[in-house]
Chains A and B, each alone.
Chain A
Amino acid sequence: MARSISKKSKIINTLVAGFIGFLMFFPILWIVVLSFKTEENAIRAPLEILFSSGWTMESFQTVQARSDYLKHFSNSVIISLGSTALALIVAVPAAWSMAFVPSRHTKNVLMWMLSTKMLPPVGVLVPIYLLFRDFDLLDTRFGLTIVLMLINLPIIIWMLYTYFKEIPGEILEAARMDGASLREEIIYVLTPMAIPGIASTVLLNIILAWNEAFWTINLTAAKAAPLTAFITSYSSPEGLFYAKLSAASIMAIAPILIMGWFSQKQLVRGLTFGAVK
């Protein structure tokens, strides 16, 4: 608007929006607070928790001392990174060909790929479980990585496709005119221009894989369980556990919160399948 916005209305907006934001963010804030308390203090009245109880690192230490916590953390890391990497290997060529050498089938193929993401996982729970059992893939990181790759593949292909389409075709033609072979075209021109898009896609998919809570719970037991499944052990605990749950939760979600900060735009692009610009 051409008129200057009054400072007063800006302040009001900030207060109202800030309040809403605070409310939304509060649970996360609260478990940060609780993670630094002892179990006894963690169940007191909120004001007491904030102002009249000590701060301690003991919950973090207890959780970390459980040797399985680090193992589950590394499981999460491995399957998130692994499934994303595997998916990239398959997705980059596919997205390349659909973006730069489209045929009249391209649109249909793309839509079909997206539709596989809309399959409710519970619909194939039984066969996947049985297949995994028969092939000794249950409770293996490898098996989980494969599944996560497959369920996120459509999104990765889709996002890469949209990023590739944004690269002006003329620049690739210029490379061809400049004497570049297909390989040289991809290495020297396409990839450098696509790196930001690829990075965004990787970021979003690490987040999606890290937070996936259906297959990671149903296909794992003690060995390969990532953090999503591990946290379920706190659903029926013995004794006081708020501080430990908080500490464990903070450690589980912190990496993703940070990555999420950078991924807002990618989220819209990746999860609305282009239906919203």
Chain B
Amino acid sequence: MATKASRSSARLMISPAVILLLGWMLVPLCMTVYFSFLYYNLLQPGTTSFAGWDNYYWFITDPSFTDAIKNTLFLVAGVLFITTIGGLGAALLLDKPMFGQGLIRIMVIAPFFVMPTVSALVWKNMFMNPVNGIFGQIVTGFGFPPIDFFGQYPLASITFIVSWMWLPFATLILLTALQSLDQDQLEAAEMDGASWLNRFWYIMLPHLARAITVVILIQTIFLLSVFAEILVTTNGGPGTATTNLTYLIYVSSLLQFDVGMGSAGGVIAIILANIVAIFLMRMIGKNLDA
């Protein structure tokens, strides 16, 4: 298909994108790495000096770092658990014949399109507020004491909210994958005497394995960067109870203006994300060959 003429024009057409993305990646990345080795605080200009590995050391040994890692793990694992299992269930349900499937699908998908700041605020205030929120009102109506979700279980509350937002994503992906399953295979299994559970375990699940993996990998990459929901609900608190790694770096960089420390944290976050990304890229690469 390609002839000499098209090849040179092709290279020309792809260069703006490549240059822009290259610049976008390299320039800030190099700067982050560079800053991470400096003592550099915006509030104390003129005292910038080389710090070696100090920033990394102090960042990692700070107790808030351990908290942040624990919280990040809890948040990511929690959301993954809820959305994968919930998404699987929802996908299996939506795959069945029913009336008004289009409408029901839209209702299930809608949360993903709500901006994170709105989601978080609505849940925190209209639902989880122990006095004025729906949950509290219903429970009080039955004579039980209301639960102060954000007061007592802030991280779990945020995890719940983020799960609500991402459940549609998992559902959509898994539903798409489910619908690509050959009906003939299932019918053959049925004729072979397999119960629904057998069919699910031996045929559907292996087919979905790939999609589930993709859902987990992609969600992990985005969940590591949860930020807005924490900002509008708890600001990372109480203490560091809801601070994840992203929020910790944000605090360091833009609240404490410690550029050096924030950059060191940033490098750590990048390395973590890269580990997940490598697995994801392998899966994508396999598909691109197909």
Tell me the A residues contacting B by CB distance below 8 Å.
1-2, 5, 9-11, 13-14, 16-18, 20-22, 24-25, 27-28, 30-31, 34, 42-46, 90-91, 93-94, 96-98, 100-103, 107, 109-116, 118-131, 150, 153-154, 157, 169, 173, 182, 207, 210-211, 213-214, 217-218, 227-229, 231-232, 234-235, 241-242, 245-246, 249, 252-253, 256-257, 259-261, 264, 267-268, 271-277
B105 neighbours in A (Cβ, 8 Å): 21, 264
- The answer to the question of B98 belonging to the interface, with a C-beta cut-off of 8 Å to chain A, is yes
Given A13-B97, A129-B254, the answer on whether A235 and B281 have CB atoms closer than 8 Å is: no
Partner of B172, one of A16, A17, A264: A264
Min CB gap A67→B, angstroms: 20
Partner of A18, one of B104, B111, B283: B104
A-B contact list, 7 entries, CB within 8 Å: A17-B101, A111-B288, A112-B21, A120-B225, A211-B114, A228-B117, A271-B169
Given A18-B100, A20-B93, the answer on whether A122 and B6 have CB atoms closer than 8 Å is: no
B108 neighbours in A (Cβ, 8 Å): 20-21, 24-25
CB of A101 within 8 A of CB of B116, answer no
Interchain CA distance A35-B231 in the complex, whole Å: 24
Partner of B214, one of A121, A259, A272: A272
A154 neighbours in B (Cβ, 8 Å): 21
CB of B254 within 8 A of CB of A268, answer no
Interchain CA distance A1-B96 in the complex, whole Å: 11
Interchain CA distance A110-B224 in the complex, whole Å: 23
CB of B104 within 8 A of CB of A231, answer no
CB of B126 within 8 A of CB of A103, answer no
Beyond A90-B20, A93-B17, 9 additional contacts (C-beta under 8 Å) are A17-B101, A100-B2, A100-B6, A119-B270, A120-B272, A124-B28, A126-B262, A131-B28, A268-B176
CB of B277 within 8 A of CB of A115, answer yes
Given A90-B20, A122-B246, the answer on whether A249 and B138 have CB atoms closer than 8 Å is: no
CB of B125 within 8 A of CB of A242, answer yes
CB of A231 within 8 A of CB of B232, answer yes
CB of B21 within 8 A of CB of A17, answer no
Min CB gap A69→B, angstroms: 14
Partner of A276, one of B214, B227, B277: B214
B2 neighbours in A (Cβ, 8 Å): 100-102
A125 neighbours in B (Cβ, 8 Å): 249-250, 253-254, 262, 266
A91 neighbours in B (Cβ, 8 Å): 17
A44 neighbours in B (Cβ, 8 Å): 137
Instruction: Output the nearest chain A residue to B249 by Cβ-Cβ distance.
Output: A122
Interchain CA distance A18-B144 in the complex, whole Å: 29
CB of B98 within 8 A of CB of A13, answer yes
CB of A218 within 8 A of CB of B232, answer no
Min CB gap A138→B, angstroms: 11
Partner of B121, one of A131, A150, A235: A235
Which of A27, A42, A113, A229: most chain B CB closer than 10 A?
A: A27
- The answer to the question of B173 belonging to the interface, with a C-beta cut-off of 8 Å to chain A, is yes
Instruction: Output the nearest chain A residue to B96 by Cβ-Cβ distance.
Output: A13
CB of A127 within 8 A of CB of B35, answer yes
Min CB gap B191→A, angstroms: 11
Interchain CA distance A115-B275 in the complex, whole Å: 12
